[in-house]
A and B are shown apart, each in its own frame.
Chain A
């Protein structure tokens, strides 16, 4: 698997699939038991290569007793960046994440969302060539999520590769050029959005189907069962009449049938369903 420069790459998977572990392995925070990987042409674990990388951890926490500017100065020092560039780097990073007004406030006074913005600012210091963002919007409100998407697109536009770890599929769908789905530590699918989302999904609003009847619908492919709402995550549109007929035969009542293009969530659930099967 390769992620080229300037690409926004989404790394998806259910909780515990191995997304964060993979990122930690790539950053040299964990040692691999086997296998090889390279970042920016260097083997993982190379210290010099880390100068060219930005990282926002999933579990983000910063020194509560420092102010935002001091935290960023600390990261400039560890990066390490030329001291003469610190002021401009910090100013630009704070402006990008919308924390300019809080630059001199202690981190202890920050909300979780603001701390996540601060972490993103730290990851952007020094114009890294590759940025790892592990669940970068988990603590953000909708405005914050929109801002982060814009930041990610901006990074890509200037040639920075973005490795985005997320289980917020709508977000990934909006920004990523390519994705890989991982489960139980193994990549089970990868490709561009167009390659992955080629099928049709069908959502049906029903009543009167018991558990046994729902099992009887398994022949129509992977099913996301949400009670009254059944979503067949990959179903050829030509099979919709057959599906409706089958539901009625099983004693169900059909109130609505809505075929649509497969979303990333549909595809994701389909892949996991196939993996479990």
Chain B
């Protein structure tokens, strides 16, 4: 097996042996079960005259609640990716774990790419698995499915991958705790900057709008989150948001349009640049 795949396999194996996967699976099943119960309760809500809510209203409430629940999942994914990626290389350099392996015919770039691939597989697997379970539960409880479930998984996974890439880059130079904290703070700041940009759009203030645009360029997590939100918006909500004009977009839990193609192209470039920087940074580090 090529060294890249060996390091990818080791990363997955470590997460499994250290029971990270088991912990995430148990917590996810608990959340899915709890949210299925909650979504089911929506269908049992009655009006003051005792009649059940009409299906359109159930869909409306479910779709908005699903966005909030998905935000929690994306948060868990982002937190996990940052916390796991932060020490991915630095802790192994500090402990000496990498010394004996790097004395083998192994390139440092293979270590970086291998670890990225291993963790990326876990992030994607978690995003797909948790989305499948949650959407199945919601569909069972309410009969509702978001309009673009595949895109939803891709955007949420990409958000996790962005945090993983940033964490890995920081891990090539900084200690695990420092790298993890910086990645998390960056994720939160990007989210807040996205909200600021939305407010700028609402107020038609270009300076505030630029804050959002620049944050999307530096760390595309918020832009990807908006893509996930758009994938979950039913047509009726989209129509209402569009009718509200610019005010409709001033909300981190709403998206009037899908992410522009230029942004998606930038995301691809961003991943490439981050990975190349990580390789360069680790290659030039003294261990």
Given contacts A29-B287, A55-B100, A65-B18, contact A74 B105 (CB under 8 A): no
**Contact count band on B:** 20 to 34
Within the complex, the shortest CB–CB distance from A145 to chain B, in Å, comes to 21
Q: Which of B41-49, B91-99, B158-166, B215-223 contacts A (4 or more CB under 8 A)?
A: B91-99
CB-contacts of B1-58 with A (<8 A): 1, 3, 6, 10, 13-14, 17-18
A36-64, CB < 8 A from B? 47-48, 50-51, 53, 55-63
Given A57-B99, A59-B96, the answer on whether A51 and B14 have CB atoms closer than 8 Å is no
Which one, A77-85, A169-177, A232-240, is touching chain B?
A77-85
Across the interface, which residues of B come within 8 angstroms of A222, CB to CB? none
Among A31, A53, A61, A65, which residue has its beta carbon within 8 angstroms of that of B103? A53
Which residues 60-105 in A have Cβ within 8 Å of B in the complex? Answer: 60-63, 65-66, 74-75, 77-80
B96 touches A50 (CB 8 A): no
Q: Which residues of B contact A123 (CB under 8 A)?
A: 100
**Closest B-chain residue to A27, C-beta based?**
B103
Q: How large is the interface on A (under 10, 10 to 19, 20 to 34, 35 or more residues)?
A: 20 to 34
B104, A79: Cβ atoms under 8 Å? yes
Q: Verify if A122 is at the interface (C-beta below 8 Å from B).
A: yes
Q: Nearest-CB distance from B12 to chain A (Å)?
A: 12
Residues on A with C-beta less than 8 A from B1 are 77
Determine if B105 and A80 form an interchain contact, defined as CB atoms under 8 angstroms apart: yes
Chain B's closest residue to A57 (CB) is B99
Q: How far is the CB of B46 from chain A (nearest CB, A)?
A: 53
Complex: chain A residue closest to B14, CB-CB: A65
Chain A residue at smallest Cβ distance from B18: A65
Cβ–Cβ contact A47 & B3, under 8 A: no
Q: Tell whether, in the assembled complex, residue A47 and residue B96 are in contact, meaning their CB atoms are under 8 Å apart.
A: no
What's the nearest-Cβ distance from chain B to residue A63, in Å? 7
Q: What is the CB-to-nearest-CB distance from A265 to chain B, in angstroms, rounded to a whole number?
A: 28
B residues in contact with A188, CB < 8 Å:
none
**How near does chain B come to A189, taking the closest CB pair, in angstroms?**
28
Q: How far is the CA of A59 from the CA of B95 in the complex (A)?
A: 7
Chain B CB within 8 A of A30 CB: yes
Q: Does A119 contact B (CB under 8 A)?
A: yes
Enumerate chain B residues within 8 angstroms of A66, measured Cβ to Cβ: 13, 17
| A78/B96 in contact, CB under 8 A | no
Residue of A whose beta carbon sits closest to that of B110 = A78
**Residues of chain B with a CB closer than 8 A to A56's CB:** 100
Residues of B whose CB lies within 8 Å of any CB of A are 1, 3, 6, 10, 13-14, 17-18, 95-97, 99-107, 286-287
